[in-house]
């Protein structure tokens, strides 16, 4: 079971990253075409495409102040165009922090010791450990968003670096947990 969880988690993370960009593009294409497509077989063929009426006249939509502005090809945010990779990296950060907490708890239950001196106080308490990991994920995302406003490349590099280090820690934790069994 403990060997299956890391494989399952890595499969989910890869799927999340791959399908995130595909779903975003598909949703944006539907938004751009202003139509809804019903699954084939649920509605009669003539009713499978329905055109949506705009809720706001085009002139009023251009004047509206919203947190994002939609264009036919991509969604634009006030902070600039975010690549589909960035939200996927945010989701991966959350998942990797959860896996780090799980691998730490699993290792400690089987007799391993916490190697990080900053975490020894909270590692024995699963609730405190999850709270610290949630805070780490939230603060990482917060700082990446702040960095995005000044340097877009650096924000993506930061997220890739943090996720890479966390993934290495998770892999090490599961290896140690398997060894101490």
Q: Nearest-CA neighbor of 31 among 1, 75, 68?
A: 75
pLDDT in tens, 132-175: 999 999 999 999 999 998 999 999 999 999 999 999 999 999 99
Residue 10 pLDDT: 53
Residue 82 pLDDT: 76
pLDDT in tens, 91-117: 999 999 999 999 999 999 999 999 999
Q: Nearest-CA neighbor of 100 among 135, 72, 141, 54?
A: 135
Residue 83 pLDDT: 80
Domain assignments of the chain as residue spans, ordered by start: 4-24+82-180, 34-81
Helices and strands (H and E) in the chain: how many? 6, 4
pLDDT in tens, 26-52: 444 444 444 344 444 444 444 444 444
Residue 120 pLDDT: 92
Whether the pTM exceeds 0.85: the reply is no
Residue 5 pLDDT: 52
The rounded mean pLDDT for the chain is 73
Cα–chain-centroid distance for residue 48? 32
Q: Nearest-CA neighbor of 105 among 126, 122, 90?
A: 126
**30 within 8 A of 52, measured Cβ to Cβ:** no
Q: Nearest-CA neighbor of 72 among 120, 33, 23, 128?
A: 33
Q: Which two tokens stand for residue 2?
A: 């403990």
Ramachandran class of 34: left when φ > 0, alpha when ψ lies in -120 to 50, beta otherwise: left
Q: Which residue has the tokens 């610290």?
A: 132
3-state helix vs strand vs coil in the chain, percent to 5: 65, 10, 25
Residue 94 pLDDT: 98
């Amino acid at each position: 079971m403990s060997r299956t969880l890391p494989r399952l988690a890595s499969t989910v993370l890869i799927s999340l990253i791959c399908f995130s960009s595909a779903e975003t593009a598909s949703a944006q294409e539907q938004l751009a075409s202003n139509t809804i497509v019903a699954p084939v077989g649920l509605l009669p063929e003539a009713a499978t495409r329905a055109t949506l009426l705009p809720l706001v006249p085009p002139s009023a939509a251009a004047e509206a102040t919203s947190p994002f502005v939609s264009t036919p090809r991509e969604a634009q945010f006030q902070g600039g165009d975010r690549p589909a990779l960035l939200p996927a990296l945010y989701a991966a950060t959350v998942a990797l922090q959860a896996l780090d907490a799980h691998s730490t708890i699993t290792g400690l239950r089987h007799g391993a010791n916490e190697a990080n001196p900053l975490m020894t106080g909270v590692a024995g308490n699963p609730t405190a450990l999850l709270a610290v990991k949630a805070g780490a994920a939230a603060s990482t995302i917060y700082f990446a968003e702040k960095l995005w406003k000044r340097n877009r490349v650096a924000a993506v590099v930061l997220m890739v670096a943090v996720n890479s280090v966390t993934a290495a820690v998770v892999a090490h934790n599961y290896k140690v947990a398997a060894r101490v069994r």
